Structure 1
Amino acid sequence: MEAVLKVMRSGNSDVVTIPAAWKRRRGIKTGDMLRVSESPDGDIILTPIKEQTDQQVRDRLRAIRKENSKFSKLKNITIEEMKDAAHDRD
């Protein structure tokens, strides 16, 4: 499917809407996160970010705690800091 999309102004930001058929086909809903990247020839690529399950988050935090335990200065890291660190490493 190909479409021509218009860049519109919303407040202080520019926005582009995604056609409903594309959203339905990819299971994208309002509020979902999309990763934006650029191909070597300059094309813009939008990729839906799949939400992690609770178990995946727990496993990730467990791995971070294990890794952080090697560094004494990081032992007092908060849960929010761990979540931010897990997000930054993706």
Structure 2
Amino acid sequence: MALARKAHAAGVHIVLITMDAGSSIAKLAEVTVVLPGASPKLRSVSAVTSIQPMGSAFEQMCLLTCDAMILSLMQQMGESSESMFPRHADLE
């Protein structure tokens, strides 16, 4: 949370993917994508339940959501896996 506050104070645009729309970071975010899910960390009672431990279900849904967003952006921007590959690991 401290890093999000620091970023927000510096004028950074915060986009959050979460299950908790009422979280402290969600209050700072300009865009919040709320995924349904069950977690012991959620403050509100959710109708969604899971037998998976901790945040496993959220992590899986987050992966699928982010993949779908990337595929959509690739289509809109005329990109392919081949055209993006040279830029993929430029920070490693």
* Fold shared by both chains (TM-score > 0.5): no
Structure number with the bigger relative contact order (C-alpha 8 A, sep ≥ 6) is 2
Q: Which has the higher strand share?
A: 1
TM bracket, shorter-chain basis: under 0.3
Higher helix proportion: 2
Larger radius of gyration: 1
